[in-house]
């Protein structure tokens, strides 16, 4: 396990050095969709590697990647927000250290029936894997709630939703400035990407080089016709 996770960290470090050669937008999408949590998901679901030090090292590299690509220097809280889903105000660059428990526990629940069938004649049928019990207990203790049961337990999103909610609340609680709180509320509002009429008039007009209904040029002061 040590060698596998160390190799994942090494691969990510190489990827970040190469992503810095691309345009920032392309690099950020590749980091999020290809080189971050998705790259680790199979390992997280198949192995009880929760709390392994290499997961923290992998997360630090992800943070470094965002810093490098976006020319930023994120604080701990800003990095926590960046790791939240986009709908919660983040960038969707999931921290693998917080994803490890949900991924593993959901996989265990989803494959339980198959495991029992494979081990039908084995003396260990019906027993609980000690590593599973340990991860369950740690998850329940960390998030002060009972573990999901039944069909819900087979869905990674069920476990992860609890983690995300706590992390989002941590971000909210850290924002004492009214402006910062307003910013977070704005980027998490349901229609945050919906432009008003004036913005649409200007954006489309500028993109197409078109005149408005009165012969003016969108974007020029006073040229856009009021809605």
Structure tokens at 3: 């060698």
Cα–Cα distance for residue pair 169/179, rounded to 1 Å: 17
The whole-chain average pLDDT of the chain stands at 87
Q: Tens digits of per-residue pLDDT, 76-110?
A: 999 999 999 998 999 999 999 999 999 999 999 99
Q: What is the pLDDT of residue 112?
A: 85
Q: What is the pLDDT of residue 225?
A: 45
Cα–Cα distance for residue pair 32/95, rounded to 1 Å: 11
Residue 172 has pLDDT above 70, yes or no: yes
The CA–CA distances, whole Å, from 191 to 154, 185, 203 equal 31, 11, 18
Cα–Cα distance for residue pair 73/67, rounded to 1 Å: 5
Structure tokens at 221: 């002061």
Structure tokens at 118: 């494979």
Q: What is the pLDDT of residue 223?
A: 44
Residue 120 has pLDDT above 90, yes or no: no
Band of residue 26 on the pLDDT scale cut at 50, 70, 90: very high
Q: Tens digits of per-residue pLDDT, 44-67?
A: 999 889 999 999 999 999 999 999
Residue 226 has pLDDT above 80, yes or no: no
> What proportion of the chain, given as a percentage, has pLDDT over 90?
63
Q: What is the pLDDT of residue 97?
A: 96
Q: What is the pLDDT of residue 209?
A: 76
CA dihedral 55, 61, 64, 66 (to 10 degrees): -80
Band of residue 130 on the pLDDT scale cut at 50, 70, 90: confident
Phi-psi region for residue 216, left (φ > 0), alpha (ψ -120 to 50) or beta? beta
Q: What secondary structure, in 3-state letters, does the chain show?
A: CHHHHHHHHHHHHHHHHHHCCCCHHHHHHHHHHHHCHHHHHHHHHHCCCCCCHHHHHHHHHHHHHHHHHHCCCCCHHHHHHHCCCHHHCCCCCCCHHHHHHHHHHHHHHHCHHHHHHHCCCCCCCCCCCHHHHHHHHHHHHHHCCCCCCHHHHHCHHHHHHHHHHHHHHHHHHHCCCHHHHHHHHHHCCCCCCCCCHHHHHHHHHHHHCCCCCCCCCCCCCCCCCCC
């Amino acid at each position: 396990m040590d060698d596998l996770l160390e190799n994942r960290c090494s691969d990510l470090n190489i990827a970040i050095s190469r992503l810095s050669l691309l345009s920032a937008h392309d690099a950020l999408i590749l980091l999020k969709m290809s080189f971050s949590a998705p790259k680790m998901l199979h390992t997280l679901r198949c192995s009880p590697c929760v709390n392994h030090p290499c997961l923290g090292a992998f997360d630090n590299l992800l943070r470094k990647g965002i810093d490098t690509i976006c020319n930023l220097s994120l604080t701990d809280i800003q990095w926590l927000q960046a790791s939240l889903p986009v709908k919660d105000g983040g960038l969707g660059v999931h921290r693998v250290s917080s994803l490890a428990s949900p991924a593993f526990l959901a996989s265990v629940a989803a494959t339980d029936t198959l495991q029992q069938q494979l081990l039908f004649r084995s003396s260990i049928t019906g027993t609980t894997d000690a590593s599973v019990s340990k991860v369950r207990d740690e998850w329940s203790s960390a998030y002060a709630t009972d573990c999901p049961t039944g069909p819900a337990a087979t869905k990674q999103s069920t476990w992860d939703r609890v983690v995300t909610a706590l992390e989002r609340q941590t971000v909210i609680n850290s924002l004492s400035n009214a402006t910062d709180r307003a910013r977070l509320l704005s980027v998490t509002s349901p229609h945050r990407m919906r432009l008003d009429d004036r913005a649409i008039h200007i954006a489309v007009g500028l993109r197409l080089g078109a005149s408005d209904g009165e012969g003016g040029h969108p974007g020029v002061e006073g040229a856009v016709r009021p809605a």
